[in-house]
Each structure stands twice: as structure tokens, then as C-alpha cells.
A and B are shown apart, each in its own frame.
Chain A
Amino acid sequence: MGQQSNQTQGLVGTKSAVFIMALLPLAKLLLNALQDNLGANPIEKITHVTGFWTLTFLLICLTATPLRKLSGWFWPIRVRRMLGLFVFFYACLHFLTYLILDQFFDWSAIWADIAKRPYITIGFTALVCLLPLAVTSNDKITRKIGGKNWRRLHSLIYPIAIAGVIHFIWLVKKDLTIPLIFAGILTVLLTARLILRR
């Protein structure tokens, strides 16, 4: 993977590897779908898988800065933007699954969900908040708005991550094991940030 390399060539290799790995969950999902291997309730499965990977990439994304500070490596920061865009990518797939496969454009039901179901309200809010972060994830706009403003805007990722985990906690029927694992990892990552900032 060329983790140690700070050279351009090494970075291109790292970025390509991360890009391909980040597409693997989607590839597996598509393969299972083509083989009719998604179980009795495929729509529910797709919803759960895309949601799981949205949160997973979000947590991976949040490890970049602590990893950079602890290891001295530079590459985590260089792949952070791509990982962030994959968070947005899987979040969009998750939302499109809900919009098209689950609700099939039943706007009144969707609106009622967003207004009345706290787990959907918070999940939808998190998605909307991801939008400006995705739009400003390129050098041109970053230069235009300035590094300070960019950092201020992108600190939205912390409340988004918290909202994403709460969305998961609120939606499960009874077994909180997996959402609480996400909550635990997020707590560790946010705490690490506070400690390392000093």
C-alpha cells in the first residue's frame, strides 16, 4: 500500500488502493443482488448495508487526524477527502434506497417520516449537513473560501457523526449491540482528538 511513502507516486498508489477498497462493500452488495442472495427482505438488507458502511466510513474518516498525529504519517490526511466523499456516496445510496426501493416516492409518507420519526429526522438532517461538506471538497473551492472558513465548515462532521450514530441507536428494535459499538468507537475518536489537540 505504500503507507510510508510521502512521494507522489506512493500517494497515487495509496489513493488508488483506498478507492478500490472503498468500493468493495458496494461490489459485494451488487454481486449478492445479482445472485438473488440478499435474503427474504432484500430492500431491508440494502438499507442496512448502505447505512452500515456510511457510518463505518465516517468513523474511518475521523481516524485520519489522530492517526496522522500519533504516527507522523502524512498519507492519512491525503486520503481523508476521498474517504469523506465515500461517506457522502454511501449516505446517498442509503437515502436513495429509502426513497426509491423502500418508499417508492411516496412523498406524503416520506414527509410524515421526516417530521414524525425522530430517527429519520436526525438521519435526514445529517445527510443534508453532509451536502455542503461534499460540495466544498475540492481545492478550488477550498482556496476560494479560505482554509479557516473551510475548517469551520467541515467541523460539522462531528455533529454529523454523532447524529448518524444516534440515528442507528434510535432505529433498532431492541438489540443495541452494534449501534453501541459504533457509539463507543466514536467516543474514543472524539476524545483522542481533544487530547491530541493540546
Chain B
Amino acid sequence: MTQSTIPAIAPSEITSKTVFDQRRRFLKHAGGLSAALMTAPLWAAEKLAFTSTASYGLTDALTPRKDVTHYNNFYEFGTDKEAPSRRAGSLKTRPWTIAVEGEVHKPQVFDIDQLLKLAPIEERVYRLRCVEAWSMVIPWLGYPLAALLKQAQPTGSAKYVEFVSLHDMEQMPGQRSPVLQWPYREGLRLDEAMHPLALLTFGLYGELLPNQNGAPVRMVLPWKYGFKSAKSIVKIRLLKEQPVSSWMQAGPSEYGFYANVNPEVDHPRWSQAKERRIGEFLKRPTLPFNGYAEQVSSLYAGMDLKHYF
């Protein structure tokens, strides 16, 4: 899908588009920005102000920002871990909208600047556990997805939520490869999506998301394997039936709909009992629900987690 909307006011001839956009953003969330940023180079990350910090008892050291932003699984930019940081410059994150549609009373299209102001931005320090048995600790910035879903008012028959990422080969060169079925799609049960830990995420380390981390807006679901957290989201659909995600299509025996972190249920080809925290030598034991069992295990009461992997 194309993202080109003509701005209401065209950039004047003496102001470059870059500076114009920066000023526009500056005015929109003035306060959080310093005037110095206006003269900052294009690639400088933009600060994102937040009102609170929560870490849910997690005291582990943060993974260095360089590792968080240079070791990424984002197949839209290639399957190498280093490819997204090299190649994601082609992603244009403004203008950007998310359409919320399907089983909702008020289907809406939200502009990214509108989304940034929809609820107070919080910092959440979460563990991230990849299905490949490595992990990080990342200070994300965002607010619960529930705040957005409530705006659209899901109907009584809405049972599932589907996330659809951007599909544009020009901006996402990795989509030239059929390694997954594009666009990237992920899904949750509605009660999972409404859980306060499910974070609609706009930033990390005090700044707007770098492109390679799923800019301008992504999900973060700390109790699930990383691939469940869709990046660069353009559409959120409320559904009656359980959606089929890109990874479920790619490997139905290896990637289930739930994908909750579970040391007891191995990936068919490798163990999930332990994980390597990036930056550490010895592997750590993996925790049930990635350490968030207290918060989320009630969502799965009575379910056979070996079957619903």
C-alpha cells in the first residue's frame, strides 16, 4: 500500500522538506523537544517524552542500545540479523496511519501523530525472548493497546485481533523474497490484546523507534516469543475467528497461534529450556511466560499449553 498523502501545507521553497517535517513534529509535541533538534541531522533519533517507568520487578541490566538496534529479526529487510540496521533506511515512517476495522462499532484511521497523543506514553522495561533462544532487556515506550482498541469499540462478537504490517517492496526490500507470505500478519485473542502488558510501542531508550525496530509503531508482548510482536503496523482488524499468522503459514508444526514463552515446550528442532541473554556468556534458564506468569497465566487457565503452543 502506498503511504503518500499530500501534506495540507506544502513545504515552502526556502525550507527543505526535512526541516519542514521536523518543525511540524516539533510543534506537535513541543515540550519534549529541544530547539537544537531542528538543526540536528536527519538520522538523529527523536526524543520521546514519557510519564512513568515500570519494570515489573525486573532488575536485570538493560541490553546495550547498540545491540538492541543492530541485532534484529525483521525479515522485511532481509533474514540476516544485521540486515535491518543496514537496510531499513528505505522505510518512510511519515506520513503513517493505522486503520482499525472489522468487528468494531467505530472503525477509524488513526494518524501516527494522533496515536502518539492518544494516551500517556509510559516506559516499560521488558524482557524480550526470541524463539531462537536468545533474549534482551529493552526499555520500550508506549501505552497499552487497550487504549487504542477502546477508541474503536470492539463489538460483542469480536474475539480476535489481527495485526497487519506494511506491505511495500520499495520500502521493504526483503519482501522481494517469498521467505514469508507478505504482508506480515500476527494475531492475538481479544483478552490477550486487552491485557495491560500488551504495549502499543512507539519508542525505545527514550527515543522514537529506529526503523529497524519496527518504526513507527509496533506491538510488544513480553510473555510471547518475539515474532508475535508485529512491527510497522498499518492495520488492526478485530475478528470473530482466529486469524492465521505469517509464521503459522510458514511452519504450522513449529509456530502456533499462541507462542507463549514456555521452557517446557520445545521448538520441534531445538530446546527452549534455556536462552542466551545478549551480552552474557552462560545461558540462563527460560522462565514460564518469560517471567510474566503472575500477570498473564490466568489468561490460559485450563489450557493444555503443549497443544496450544
Chain A residues with a Cβ under 8 A of chain B? 39-41, 43-44, 101, 103-104, 106, 109, 112-113, 116-119, 170-171, 173-175, 177
Say yes or no: is B47 at the interface (Cβ < 8 Å to chain A): no
Contact present for B81 and A39 (CB under 8 Å): yes
Contact present for B271 and A39 (CB under 8 Å): no
With A109-B271, A117-B270 already in contact, the answer to whether A41 and B134 are too (CB < 8 A) is yes
Interface bracket on B: 20 to 34
With A170-B269, A174-B180, A174-B251 already in contact, the answer to whether A39 and B82 are too (CB < 8 A) is yes
Query: Bound complex: CA of A39 vs CA of B282, how far in Å?
Result: 17
Shortest Cβ distance from B128 into chain A, in angstroms?
Answer: 12
11 extra interchain contacts, Cβ-Cβ under 8 A, other than A103-B283, A174-B250?
A39-B70, A40-B67, A40-B81, A104-B282, A116-B271, A117-B269, A170-B269, A173-B131, A174-B75, A174-B179, A175-B75
- The contact string, 1 if C-beta is below 8 Å from chain A, for chain B 68-112, is 001100010001011000000000000000000000000000000
Query: Bound complex: CA of A40 vs CA of B130, how far in Å?
Result: 14
Contact partner of B71 (CB less than 8 A), chosen from A41, A112, A117, is A41
Contact partner of A112 (CB less than 8 A), chosen from B81, B132, B271, B283, is B271
With A43-B276, A174-B180, A174-B250 already in contact, the answer to whether A113 and B79 are too (CB < 8 A) is no
Query: Bound complex: CA of A174 vs CA of B75, how far in Å?
Result: 10
Q: In the complex, what residues of A have CB within 8 A of residue B276's CB?
A: 41, 43-44
Question: Can you sample 30 A-B contacts with CB below 8 Å?
Answer: A39-B70, A39-B71, A40-B70, A40-B278, A41-B134, A41-B276, A41-B278, A43-B276, A43-B281, A44-B134, A103-B283, A104-B281, A104-B282, A104-B283, A109-B273, A109-B274, A112-B271, A113-B271, A116-B266, A117-B269, A117-B270, A173-B131, A174-B75, A174-B180, A174-B250, A174-B251, A175-B75, A175-B79, A175-B177, A175-B179
Q: In the complex, what residues of B have CB within 8 A of residue A40's CB?
A: 66-67, 70-71, 81, 278-279
Shortest Cβ distance from B184 into chain A, in angstroms?
Answer: 12
CB contact list, B153-190 vs A, under 8 A? 177, 179-180
7 residue pairs, one from A and one from B, having the closest CB atoms: A40-B71, A40-B67, A175-B79, A40-B278, A175-B179, A174-B179, A104-B282
Shortest Cβ distance from B248 into chain A, in angstroms?
Answer: 13
Q: In the complex, what residues of A have CB within 8 A of residue B281's CB?
A: 43, 101, 104
